[in-house]
Amino acid sequence: MPQKIVVIDDEKIVCDMAKKILENEGYEVETFMNSQLALERIRQQRFDLVITDLKMENISGMDILREVNHLYPQTKVIMLTAYATLDATIEAIRERIYDFFPKPVKIDELKKSVKKALES
């Protein structure tokens, strides 16, 4: 049974590339460009890992992180962001973020982080 990952980013290319790479690693990947729809999906379905952008229209990555922590404390969250301000980073750490990737994302490191998150 492959592990389930959801990728949320309002950039289509981020979703597409993450899906391609992670599926190639053997995971089952769902992508959402709309964070509202993603949150609704998360509420129905438990994922093993959530990869989300921080700043998005509608619901922010931080809101998703809080919701995931609340619903599924075992699910890890990796955050991608183009705006890695210190405030946002501290807040994410307080919300028990698993990993934090500034854009542009290095795929090898992301892959390593995903692997580690799902092994533990």
Partner 1 sequence: MTIRKRIIIAALVQALLICIICFFAYISFKAVLTKLRTIEVIDDLNISLLEMRKAEKNYFLYKDLEALKELIKLGQERYELLKSTRYYVEPGLHDWAKKNYKVLLSTLKKYIELAQLVVNSREAPPHLEDELRNLGHQLTTFSETLLRKERENVNVIINQNIKRLIGSLVVILLIQLVLWQYFFRFIIQEIGIMGQLIKMVAEGQLHEVAAKPISPHNEIEIAIKAISDMARMLEKREEELLQTGKLASLGVLISGVAHELGNPLNNISLIAQTYLSLYDLLGDEDKKTYMGDVYTQSERIKRIVENLLDFSRQKKQELREHQLGDIVMRSIGLVGNNLKISQVKHHLSLAENLPPVFVDASQIEQVLINLFINAIQAMPGGGDLFIDVFQEPGNEWVFVKVRDSGTGIKKEILPNIFDPFFTTKSTKGTGLGLSVSYGIIRQHQGEISVESEEGKGTRFIVKIPAIKTNKGD
Residues that bind partner 1 (CB under 8 A): 11, 13-14, 17-18, 20-21, 24, 55, 57, 60, 82-83, 103-108
For every residue of 34-49, DSSP letters joined together read -HHHHHHHHHHS--SE
Q: Find the angle CA(47)-CA(49)-CA(53) to the nearest 5 degrees.
A: 115
Residue closest to 26 by CA, chosen among 48, 50, 3: 3
> Any idea how long the chain is?
120
Query: Of 45 and 58, which CB lies nearer to partner 1 in the complex structure?
Result: 58
Q: Tell me the closest approach of the beta carbon of residue 82 to partner 1, in angstroms.
A: 3
Q: Tell me the closest approach of the beta carbon of residue 95 to partner 1, in angstroms.
A: 17
Query: Of 56 and 75, which CB lies nearer to partner 1 in the complex structure?
Result: 56
Q: Tell me the closest approach of the beta carbon of residue 55 to partner 1, in angstroms.
A: 6
